[in-house]
């Protein structure tokens, strides 16, 4: 008979190596469907590499794709640290984007110099608002936030579609459900000429560094980690658990809202119902690959973005489906979950246990 029990000590080297090993294993397993499709995996991965690092434009596309993933990855990582399972980053992203176009399209008479800061602040506030109700239901009635945040995604998306066919619709769109464009003064400045990468990336990196510092070096970070490790013990130690959960909920929602702001005010300039290809959900994978570390989120987001951009390039060059990227991302997450389990637990045989006793 065997049983599973927690390890007394966890190897830090193994814990840090799990995400890297997971990515390698995922790429190795993805070679199987490539072979089934009649493609040479070595050539296919060479095309992926070329699609990511083959030119300045290619790498700039990776940075552009990684920007919203850093925001949503941070949103998931910080909330998960407190055992607040925010699955609603997708909806919060759309709330932030909707606030950005509502302010940035000239609805309010705002001086040009204040327009961009207001878009950023109100976009974050709109995303944060999307986490208030689920957190209240969790702390007041014990409602499962996985269910409430997930279902809220669909409600928000339907609301956005309604607004795009109503008050926010561009009169010049000929009936197409899209918002009026953000004014030039409200757009995030580009980082390079004739390339799509924009200063939202700088904001994401600054927030990642700040989150890493606060989580590791501040009283707020200690309280957050304490609540996540054992809420009952944290409450006994005098930590206000509800306040801590509401604080991280607002921060998490705000970061997801900034992902929407970066896509609207940094990239597209207007809002449509298909703005996000799933950045909110992919942010969960980014957070798990990063081990819920804000610094690791940046690396994980770059990896995921590289996979998607490289898979697009490989698809064009070899005629292989770009859905391979989704397969690699999914297998990376599964490998991380399995590796994390192995790092925290061990399998013990009864005979071994009796001999040890």
Residue 53 CA to chain centroid, in angstroms? Answer: 23
Mean pLDDT for all residues in the chain: 89
- Region of residue 343 (phi > 0: left; psi between -120 and 50: alpha; otherwise: beta): alpha
Say whether pLDDT at 273 is over 70.
yes
Cα-flanking dihedrals φ and ψ of residue 179, to 5°? -80, 165
| Per-residue pLDDT reduced to its tens digit, 72-98 | 999 999 999 999 999 999 999 999 999
Confidence at 353, pLDDT banded by 50, 70, 90: very low
Say whether pLDDT at 132 is over 70.
yes
Q: Hunting for tokens 């489906």 — which residue is that?
A: 321
pLDDT for the residue numbered 18:
76
Say whether pLDDT at 266 is over 70.
yes
Say whether pLDDT at 357 is over 50.
no
Cβ contact 78:252 at 8 Å: yes
| Per-residue pLDDT reduced to its tens digit, 7-24 | 777 666 776 777 788 788
Q: Are strands 2-6 and 345-349 parallel, antiparallel or unpaired?
A: antiparallel
Q: What is the DSSP letter of 76?
A: H
Average pLDDT over residues 38-43: 86
Environment class of 72 (CB within 10 Å of its CB; exposed 0-12, middle 13-18, buried 19+): buried
Q: Which two tokens stand for residue 228?
A: 């996540």
- The CATH code of the domain at 39-319 is 1.10.3470
| Per-residue pLDDT reduced to its tens digit, 311-332 | 888 888 887 777 777 787 788 7
3-state class percentages of the chain: helix first, strand second, coil last, to nearest 5: 75, 5, 25
Q: Which two tokens stand for residue 270?
A: 């207007």
Cα distance between residue 262 and residue 67, in whole Å? 8
pTM (predicted TM-score): 0.91
* Domain extent listing, the chain: 1-38+321-350, 39-319
The residues that bridge with 138 in the sheet, in sequence order, are: none
Torsion angle (degrees, nearest 10) of CA 62, 305, 204, 158: 120
Biggest CA-to-CA distance, the chain: 79
């Amino acid at each position: 008979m065997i049983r599973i029990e927690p390890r007394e000590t966890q190897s830090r080297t193994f814990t840090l190596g799990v995400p890297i090993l997971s990515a390698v294993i995922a790429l190795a397993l993805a070679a199987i469907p490539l072979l089934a499709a009649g493609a040479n995996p070595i050539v296919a991965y060479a095309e992926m590499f070329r699609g990511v690092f083959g030119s300045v434009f290619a790498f700039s596309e990776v940075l552009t794709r990684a920007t919203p993933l850093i925001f949503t990855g941070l949103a998931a990582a910080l909330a998960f640290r407190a055992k607040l399972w925010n699955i609603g980053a997708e909806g919060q992203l759309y709330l932030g984007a909707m606030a950005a176009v509502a302010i940035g399209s000239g609805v309010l008479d705002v001086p040009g110099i204040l327009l961009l800061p207001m878009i950023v602040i109100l976009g974050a506030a709109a995303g944060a608002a999307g986490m208030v109700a689920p957190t209240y239901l969790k702390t007041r009635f014990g409602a499962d936030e996985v269910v409430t945040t997930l279902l809220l995604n669909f409600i928000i998306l339907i609301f956005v579609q309604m607004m795009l066919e109503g008050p926010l619709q561009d009169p010049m769109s000929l009936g197409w459900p899209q918002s009026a464009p953000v004014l030039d003064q409200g757009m995030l400045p580009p980082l390079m000429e004739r390339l799509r990468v924009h200063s939202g990336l700088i904001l994401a990196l600054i927030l990642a560094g700040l989150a890493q510092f606060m989580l590791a070096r501040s009283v707020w970070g200690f309280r957050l980690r304490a609540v996540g490790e054992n809420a009952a013990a944290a409450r006994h130690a005098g930590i206000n658990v509800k306040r801590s959960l509401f604080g991280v909920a607002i921060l998490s929602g705000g970061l997801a809202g900034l992902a929407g702001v970066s896509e609207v005010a940094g990239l597209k300039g207007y809002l449509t119902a298909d703005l996000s290809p799933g950045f909110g959900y992919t942010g969960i994978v980014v957070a798990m690959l990063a081990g819920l570390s804000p610094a690791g989120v940046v690396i994980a987001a770059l990896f995921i973005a590289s996979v998607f951009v490289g898979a697009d390039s490989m698809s064009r060059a070899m005629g292989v489906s770009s859905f391979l990227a989704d397969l690699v991302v999914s297998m990376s997450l599964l490998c991380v979950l399995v590796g994390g389990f192995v790092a925290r637990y061990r399998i013990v045989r009864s005979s071994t246990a009796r001999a040890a006793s």
